A = this chain, B = another copy of it.
Amino acid sequence: MSSTWGENIKLSVFGGSHTGAIGVVLDNLPPNQKIDLDAVRVQMARRAPGKDKTATTRAEADEPQILSGLLDGVTTGAPLAAIIANTNTRSKDYSDLKVHPRPGHADYTAAVRYDGANDIRGGGHFSGRLTACLVFAGAICRQILEKRGVTIGAHALRVGAAWDTPFDPVNVSAAELNALNTRFFAVQDADAEQKMRDEIECARLQADSIGGVIECAAVGMPAGIGNPMFGGVENVLASILYGIPAVKGVEFGAGFAVGEMRGSENNDPFYYDETGAVKTRTNNAGGILGGITTGMPVLFRIAVKPTPSIGQPQQTVDLTAHRDAPLMIVGRHDPCIVPRAIPVAEAAAAIALMDLLRGAWRD
């Protein structure tokens, strides 16, 4: 495994769905940063399961226990470590997953990678539960970023056939993002939420699941941040975003739409705004040129695949008998993880932008 991430801050994530606890270490945070733990809990709650019919009914408090790095609510500069207890682990027999790997899950690949030693219970270290660690770490980082004027927010852009209004890439504001970034199932357009819930409910009633796309923006990032060629903003964001289970695509600004665009359309014209700052009139670049921030909103989208655990009969193999075999998955599942993945996307963005800013050195 390689669950360590970061150049300028170091993130280490550990635990599995059914281990003693899951946890996270954040090394090299700046000292003297006041952390509001209630605001951290708000983020944890957004991701926590058991809210409604869009998510698994497994309910866990997800209360982080901070072991070090904070003193009287202020970062000390030493590694900030926290664990989250696994309180709702059904003691069922998971051994069948070793024999019959679930399609779309990591059961088979993990068995090959770890020579069968991987902890299969609840998906082990591959469980979406690990994203609680990202949300915790991101909740710390976003508070530090907010004091520096950086605000992050995301919404469900699509779930199946239902779409929300995309962000205005030029004018998306901190106020808009703040209206989203403490909500469960954040969308911009009230109608969109209901349409998306209908998509999800329909999938759930058919014992199926549904995928989606999340759009995330960060405003307030100063121009000049990023370290090309390989430490650019896109590289750094993508390298952590693909650590979120179920993400199969990451795009910035106009993203894949650039494939049909002309340069005259895609190029964002520069101008001076009334404050004397250099801005661009459009933002197809997603706030990033040459891997470096332009000062415009940083904008990205991630594709979230439908939850692989579904209640329909599936085809798999029997790894013991070496033959094909049918599979019927029983248990609690999210028919759609998009709503719960929204705070995870924001958290990953916060960690990545923190890392990038932490490495900026002005001479």
Partner of A229, one of B13, B267, B312, B314: B13
CA distance A253 to B308 in the complex (A): 15
Q: Is the CB of A315 within 8 A of B281?
A: yes
A193 sits at the interface (CB 8 A): no
Q: Is the CB of A68 within 8 A of B256?
A: no
Asked if A42 is at the interface (CB within 8 A of a chain B CB), the reply is no
Q: Is the CB of B292 within 8 A of A113?
A: yes
C-alpha gap A115/B224 in the complex (Å): 9
How far apart are the CA atoms of A303 and B317 in the complex, in Å? Answer: 36
Contact across chains for B231 and A2 when beta carbons are under 8 A apart: yes
Contact A303 B4 (CB under 8 A): no
Contacts of A314 in B (CB 8 A): 264, 267, 269
The answer to whether A266 touches B78, judged by C-beta atoms less than 8 angstroms apart, is no
Q: Is the CB of B114 within 8 A of A32?
A: yes
Contact partner of A81 among B14, B212, B249, B316, CB < 8 A?
B14
- Give A317 to B108 CA distance when docked, in angstroms: 49
Nearest chain B CB to A250's CB is how many angstroms away?
6
**Which residues 314-343 in A have Cβ within 8 Å of B in the complex?**
314-317, 319, 322-324
- A109: chain B residues within 8 A (beta carbon): 223-224, 226, 288-290, 292-294
Most buried by B among A33, A213, A256: A256
Q: Quote the shortest CB–CB distance from A228 to chain B (angstroms).
A: 6
Across the interface, do B12 and A79 meet the contact criterion of CB distance under 8 Å?
A: yes
B254 touches A251 (CB 8 A): no
Q: Indicate if A260 sits at the interface (CB-CB under 8 A).
A: yes
**Which residues from chain B contact A268 at a C-beta distance below 8 Å?**
103-104
Q: Is the CB of B270 within 8 A of A210?
A: no
Question: Please, what's the 1-or-0 string for A204-243, where 1 marks a CB less than 8 Å from any CB in chain B?
Answer: 0010111111000000000111111111101110111011
Beta-carbon contact of B27 and A3 below 8 Å:
yes
Question: Given the known A-B contacts A2-B231, A118-B76, A258-B306, are A312 and B209 also in contact in the complex, defined by CB atoms under 8 Å?
Answer: no
A105 close to chain B: CB less than 8 A: yes
Q: Which residues of B contact A67 (CB under 8 A)?
A: 14-15, 19-23, 83
* Closest B residue to A279 using CB positions: B317
Tell whether A250 pairs with B249 under 8 Å between CB atoms, given A118-B78, A292-B109, A361-B30. Answer: yes
Q: Tell whether A262 is near chain B: CB-to-CB under 8 Å.
A: yes
User: A363 interface residue, CB < 8 Å from B?
Assistant: yes
Cβ contacts A286-312/B at 8 Å (1 or 0 each):
101111111100000101111111101
Q: Known: A25-B12, A103-B269, A226-B113. Is A254-B248 also a contact (CB below 8 A)?
A: yes
* Bound complex: CA A187 to CA B314 (Å): 36
Quick one: given A229-B243, A238-B235, A304-B259, are A76 and B119 in contact (CB under 8 Å)? Answer: yes
Q: With a CB–CB cut-off of 8 A, which chain B residues contact A103?
A: 267-270, 280
User: Is the pair B230, A117 in contact by a Cβ cutoff of 8 Å?
Assistant: no
Q: Which residue of B lies closest to A21 (CB)?
A: B67
Q: In angstroms, how far is the closest chain B Cβ from the Cβ of A99? A: 12
| Interface flag for A179 (CB, 8 Å) | no
Please tell me if the beta carbons of B266 and A305 are within 8 angstroms of each other in the complex.
Answer: yes
Are A248 and B238 also in contact (CB < 8 A) when A292-B112, A317-B272 are? Answer: no
The answer to whether B230 touches A240 (Cβ under 8 A) is yes
